[in-house]
Homo-oligomer: A and B are copies of this chain.
Amino acid sequence: MMQQTYTELLPPRRILLGPGPSMLDPRVLQALAQPPIGHLDPYLLKLYEEEQELLRIIFQTKNDWTFVLSGTGTAGMEAALANLLEPGDAVLVASHGYFGERLADIAGRLGALVDRIARPWGQIFSIEELEAALKRKQYKVFAIVHAETSTGAEQLHMAEIVSKAHQWGALVVLDTVTSLAGIEVRVDEWGVDLAYSASQKCLGAPSGLAPITVGPRARKAIERRQRPVSSFYLDFKLYAGYWNGNHSYHHTAPSGLHLAFREALRLAVEEGLEARFSRHREHAEALWDGLGSLLLPPFIPKEFRLPVLTTAILPGGLDEVAVRKRLLEEFDIEIAGGLGTLKGKVWRIGLMGYSSQRENVSLLLETLRTLLY
C-alpha cells in the first residue's frame, strides 16, 4: 500500500515576521497541545463563554453576538458579507489594497450589487470622499478595511466614517484582521455594526479561527432576511444557537484551536490593551529607524503607518526573492513580499502579537545588514 516512506516530521523553527501567522507564546502552544474534547463538552462550552468575555474586552464592545468561527480570517470576511447581504442588495466597498478588492469579490459572488470606491494602494480615504460615495445610493452595507495588510496603511477617522455611513443608511462592516489587539479598535464607540478578525495576527493564536462581533443593527438586519444565508457553515444564527442558545449541534469545532485561542486572549487582556498597543508601537519605531539606515524606507507616511505591518520600499535592482529565500532558508526568518500592484516593490514585515519583540527587530535588522551590504 505504501508508495514511499514518509519521514518523521521535523518542521523548521521560524522567526515569523511576515503578515501572519505570528509566533506563539509557549503558553499558547501548550494549550494547543492538549488532547481533544468534544464539541458539546461542558468544558468547551464554558471556554466559549470565556472567549466571548475576553473578545468583548478586546473588540471594546458589549455585543451579545460575539463568536469565534471555525475558519480563517477570510472565512470571517465571507461570513460578515454573507450574513448581511442578499442577492440584489447594494453594497459599497472602499478599496485601497488587496483585501478591499477581496471584499468586493466576495460581495459580488454573493449576488450583491457592488459599487467600489478605490484609492491607490498605500493611500487612505478622506471622510469627505467616502461621504460623497455613500450619498449616491441607498446602500445596505458599507465595507472597509481598517488595517490594509497589503499596504501597511491604517484607515484613520473610523468614528467619523461610521457616523457618515449611518447617516446615509448603510450598515458598516469593518475588517480588523490585522488591527485587532495591535492598534485601537473601538467597536461600540465607533458604532461599527459588524467586525471580524483572525486568530493568527496580533491576537497571537494559531491560524484557523475568525472572531466576529455583530452589533444590534446588523443583528436585526440578519433576523429580517428574506432568504436564508447562502452559507450554512457560516450562518450566524446557527452559531448563536451553538454558542449562546441551547448549544444545538452545528459543526465539530476544533477544541485545540479554541484552547490555544482562549489562552492567547487571556494573555492579551492580562497585558492590557494600552500596554499592548504601546509595545507594538515601540518595536515598530525601532524597526522603522533601522530600515531607514538600511535604505529600505517605510512606504507609508508616518501619519497613517501601521505599527503592526510595515511595508519597506525596495531599492531598484534588488533580487528581493533571493534575499527572502536566504533569510528563510539560512536564518529561519520569514518576511513577505508585496501583493498585487506592490509585488517586487516592497517587503512586508509584521511585528504582531508574540512576534512583536525587541529581539526580533534586532535580529531582522542585523541579518538584513549582513545580506544586503
Contact = CB atoms under 8 A, between A and B. Distances in A.
A253 interface: yes
Nearest to A105: B232
A32 interface: yes
Given A206-B254, A206-B255, 5 more contacts: A21-B255, A23-B36, A102-B232, A200-B252, A256-B256
Given A41-B12, A206-B254, A228-B109, A36 B75 contact: no
A183 interface: no
Interface residues of A, number: 82
Contact of A74 (B200, B233, B334): B233
B251 A73 contact: yes
Contacts of A24: 35-36
B36 A71 contact: no
Interface stretch (A135-143, A184-192, A264-272, A304-312): A264-272
Contacts of A71: 70-71, 75, 233
Interface of A: 1-4, 6, 9, 11-14, 16, 18, 20-24, 29-43, 50, 53-54, 57, 70-75, 78, 102, 105-106, 108-111, 198, 200, 206-208, 228-233, 249-257, 259, 262-263, 266, 269-270, 272-273, 328, 334, 336, 339
A328 B44 CA distance: 13
25 contacts: A3-B53, A6-B54, A6-B270, A9-B31, A11-B255, A12-B41, A14-B37, A16-B37, A21-B252, A23-B35, A29-B33, A33-B33, A38-B334, A71-B71, A72-B251, A72-B252, A78-B231, A106-B232, A109-B228, A109-B229, A109-B231, A109-B232, A110-B230, A206-B256, A207-B254
B262 A9 contact: yes
Contacts of A37: 11-12, 14, 16, 21, 334
B72 A72 contact: no
Contacts of A6: 50, 54, 262, 266, 269-270
Nearest to A19: B252
B57 A35 contact: no
A13 B31 contact: no
B14 A38 contact: yes
Contacts of A57: 1-3
A315 to B, nearest CB: 23
Nearest to A256: B206
Nearest to A71: B71
Contacts of A263: 9
